Every structure is written in C-alpha cells, then in structure tokens.
Amino acid sequence: MPVVELKGVSKRFGKVVASSDIDLRIEDGEYVTILGPSGCGKTTLIRMIAGILEPSEGQVLIGGRDMSGIPIEERDIGYVFQNIALFPHLNMLENVSYGPIVKDMSEEDRQTIPVRYLELVNLLDRMKVFPSALSGGEQQKVALARALASGARLLLLDEPLSALDARVRMDLRYELRRITKDLGLTVLHVTHDQEEAMTVSDRIVLMRNGRIVESNTPEMMYRAPKELFTANFIGETNLLAGVVVENRDDRTLVEVRDGTVVEAQPSKFEPGDAVVISVRPERVHALEEGLNAVVRTMSFMGTYIRITAEADSEDILGFDVPVPRGRDFNIGDNVHLGWSMASALLYPRPPGGIAEAVKLE
C-alpha cells in the first residue's frame, strides 16, 4: 500500500538548492501536510513525489518501489493543483469520468465511479453543469472528485485551497479531511497556511530553506515545538530575550532585559546562558505583579480581545482577554504581565539574532 519514503533526496536548479537531503516517511493512510513559507522547497518536494521533477540525489519510494524514471501517469497518484484545472468544455460528470476512461476501467465502473465521487463531494446535482457555471470552491471539489475517481490510493494536494476565499477555505478543509479519511487514502498536502495545516493533518512537516525544520502532530508542534522557528510559525507567540539566572528542578528563572526575573519550564540551561522565552498570547495574563508594560493597541477578535503592550524590557507582548473584560483596559494603561511557568518554553538564543531566526521571508 502507498507508504511514501524519501531517502536523502536533494534537488538543485543550477546553483539553487531547492531541497536538501530530505528523509521522510509517510505511512499508509496518513494525512501529512508539508508546511512552510514561500520558497522553502515544499512544492519541489511534492513534484518529486509526483514524478514531475526528478531528484538530483536520493530516492523516492512509493509502496516500497523505487520511482526513479517512472513517469507521473504510472505512479498511481491523484493530483490536485492550486489553480483549478478542470476541462472547460466538459461538464462535471465528464470531467470526473476522465480518469476511469483513461484507465480503461470496465463499462460498469465508468458509469458508477464518477457518480459516486460527485456524490461524495456533494455535487451530484450539478453533474451536467460546465466549470464556468460553478464557484471556485465547487470547482475545486470537482477537481478532487476527478483525482479520486482514477482510483489512486495516494493523493497529492498542491496548495489546493490557496486560490479560494478565506471563508470557503475554512469549510473545505473540514471536507477534505472527512473525505480522504472515509476513503482511507494516504494524503500529502502542501500549504503555506499554518491554520489549514493544523486542522487537516495527522502530522505536519515544517520546511524552511529546502530542509525539514521539524515534524510532529499539530498539537505537539503547537504545544511543544522543538525549534524557535516552529514556535513562531505555527500559531502566534511572544518572544523575549533573556539570560538564565537560576536553574531549579521544577523551573528555570530567566532575567529579561529590564532586570525582571520571570519563570519558564524546567530546562537544561545553565546560569548565564543566553535564551529566548516563547509564550503564547492566550497564556499571558494581566496580574497583580509581573513584567511592567504599557497597553499600546487593542483589537476585537470576536470572542476575545487581543491587547499588545510594550514592556519595560522593550519587548512587545500580545495577550488575550475575554470581550467583557476588555472594558478594564485602555490604551496607555500600565499592566503587569505574567504567565504560568509551564506556558513558557525556552530556546537557546540564536547567534544571528531572534528576528533572523524566525524570519518569514
């Protein structure tokens, strides 16, 4: 079955290294997203798995079989692109029938399979309609049905939702996961959208500069990222520079730039080590005492208010309060910010500076 393995895969375009020594294994039935900023090499990676590009070095294996030299049409994969690519002169049913016909399936399958997949994406009632009469979201659902109707057990999704409106995207990502899980498919989904990755996948592979930064379940990537880049890329976070002053068994004490000592998770750092504290905005609270800060902005976020405050340590911290409590704060107010020890993660201070280490482009 479609286990996908990449072993020491690199891809160079002239002097540009798009993928560098990638090792990755995707299990049968697993939904994996490759996430990363523009230019991180995620599209190159999915194209090598599809057979659109050949690796410069290393091996791509699908179902244990080495894929070198095997063209895309013989890899038995379904592929959905960002730019919806339906045949404009064919109606929906004909579009979805394309795979079964090309694959020379039996007459019965040619009749039943396209109908079944159109039903799966809830568009059976639009089967006689041409692409131009459908919305973007509907077209992308048909593109998915078409990819599935070829009978492939491995589905490659290349930014499948990026061209759609935010609200449509939100609905479709739930659909994507439901459909592929119902069918038990192995899915590799490329995206730059961390929210999308978080809600659809079993596992996220985060890439940067052609390399894998970190790979784990969405929950672990959010709660316990191993890398500073991950902490900032997946969800928002506050980053504060500090120096470890004391390492106790149950917590680490860190002095931030204005001399205030704050608490963080237990760690292996030694007194004197330069570190970065990462703490999520929903974990920061205005308390009786803590980091002294001045409220600079307040934004209504629907069910909560995001406040940003400038601390004496010169760090800008975001924190969230429930909407009714928003009345207790005004721009210019002095606040004291703190968090529970367990909410603050520690990373070694990157030699090139924090901004450089978390840079998005």
Partner 1 sequence: MKRFSDVTAADGLDLTVNDREYLCLLGPTGAGKTTALRVIAGLTVPDEGKVLFDGREVTHLEPEKRNAVLLSQTYSLFPTMTVAENIMFGPDIRKVPEKDKEQMLFSLLDLVRLTSRADSYPRELSGGMQQRCALARAIATSPDVLLLDEPLRALDARLRIDLRRDLKSLARTLGLTVVHVTHDQDEALVMADRIAIIRAGRIVQVGTPAEVFDEPVSPFVANFVGQSNFFTGTVVHSGPEGSVVEDEAGNRVKARPTDVAVGEKAVLAVKVGHTHLLKLDAAALKGKIERMLFEGRVVHVDVDVAGAGRFSAKIPSSYRGRYQVGDDVGIGWNRNKAKVFPYPEGGLENELKVD
Name the residues that contact partner 1, by CB under 8 A. Answer: 37-39, 135-138, 164-168, 170-171, 174, 177, 192-196, 198-199, 218-219, 222-223, 233-236, 280-282, 297, 299-303, 306, 308, 320, 323, 360-361
> 179 is written with which tokens?
């459909």
Q: How far is the CB of 282 from partner 1 (least distance, A)?
A: 5
Residue whose CB is less far from partner 1, 115 or 316 = 316
Q: How far is the CB of 228 from partner 1 (least distance, A)?
A: 14
Residue 327: burial class (beta carbons within 10 Å; 0-12, 13-18, 19+):
exposed
Residues 111 and 132 sit within 8 Å (Cβ to Cβ): no
Give the whole-angstrom CA distance, residue 58 versus residue 77. Answer: 20
> 67 is written with which tokens?
């894929």
Q: How far is the CB of 42 from partner 1 (least distance, A)?
A: 11
Residue whose CB is less far from partner 1, 35 or 335 = 35
Give the whole-angstrom CA distance, residue 293 versus residue 26. Answer: 46
Can you spell out the DSSP letters for 74-138?
Answer: GS-EEEE-SS----TTS-HHHHHHHHHHHTT--HHHHHHHHHHHHHHTT-GGGTT--GGGS-HHH
Residue whose CB is less far from partner 1, 67 or 86 = 86
Residue whose CB is less far from partner 1, 10 or 308 = 308
Q: How far is the CB of 70 from partner 1 (least distance, A)?
A: 32
> 309 is written with which tokens?
């405050």
* Nearest by Cα to 39 from 6, 60, 17: 17
Q: What is the dihedral of CA 328, 334, 340, 345, to 10 degrees?
A: 120
> 149 is written with which tokens?
């109707």
Residue whose CB is less far from partner 1, 76 or 282 = 282
Q: How far is the CB of 270 from partner 1 (least distance, A)?
A: 31
Q: How far is the CB of 48 from partner 1 (least distance, A)?
A: 22
Q: How far is the CB of 295 from partner 1 (least distance, A)?
A: 14
Give the whole-angstrom CA distance, residue 207 versus residue 11. Answer: 14
Looking at residue 350, the DSSP 8-state letter turns out to be P
